[in-house]
Amino acid sequence: MKEVWARLLELSIKEKIKMKYTIKQLTIFIENRQGELSDITEILSKNKISIKSIILADSSDFRLLRIIVDDAESTKIILDDNGFSLTISEVFAVSIDDYIGSFNKVLTVLANNNINLEYTYTMNSSTKAAFIFKVKEDDFNKATKALSKLNIKLLKEL
């Protein structure tokens, strides 16, 4: 029984660490047609949703729009209600230090800890810049812990 409680405590601690650095990202599947992106941004604007980061990936048939907003859960409901197909995933963000090799430093830490990236992108504003990373769910805590150990600043929000 002690082993079960110890395992539950360990899982609880891991979940708290993960929650500390988890940023919710929406991935929206949209048609590859003129005006589709502006349809989404208009809906978000009308509902006072602030886009913190955005990246659009393109293929011949469809596009993947990845956004980080100020309220992911409400945004998901709003876009669902407007007929868009989307998912919420968990990513983490690392503060960008403005020097040559800062991105490589982060990638090296992840690679040295056998963490494979699913994808990455950046976000910049007048007050903040960050690398955003998506890793497998099983590697999330390992990644954030490895980066924290080397004093790489993880962000709690964008």
- What's the whole-number average pLDDT of the chain? 87
**What does pTM read for this prediction?**
0.81
User: Average of pLDDT values for 13-42?
Assistant: 83
Q: Is pLDDT above 60 for 65?
A: yes
Q: Calculate helix-pair angle for 2-21, 140-149, nearest 10 degrees.
A: 70
Q: Is pLDDT above 80 for 43?
A: yes
Q: Sign of torsion, CA 92 9 138 88?
A: negative
Element (H, E) at 64: strand 62-69
153 vs 4, which has greater pLDDT? 153
Domains defined for the chain, CATH in brackets? 24-89 (3.30.2130.10), 92-155 (3.30.70.260)
Is residue 67 a contact partner of residue 26, using CB atoms and an 8 Å limit? yes
Of the candidates 108, 69, 59, the residue with the CA atom closest to the CA atom of residue 91: 69
Band (pLDDT 50/70/90 cuts) for residue 9 is very low
Note the pLDDT of residue 33: 84
The string of DSSP letters for 90-123 reads: EEEEEEPPSSTTHHHHHHHHHHHTT--EEEEEEE
Band (pLDDT 50/70/90 cuts) for residue 7 is low
Is residue 96 a contact partner of residue 132, using CB atoms and an 8 Å limit? no
Is residue 148 a contact partner of residue 114, using CB atoms and an 8 Å limit? no
**Residue labelled with tokens 């964008």:** 158
Band (pLDDT 50/70/90 cuts) for residue 17 is low
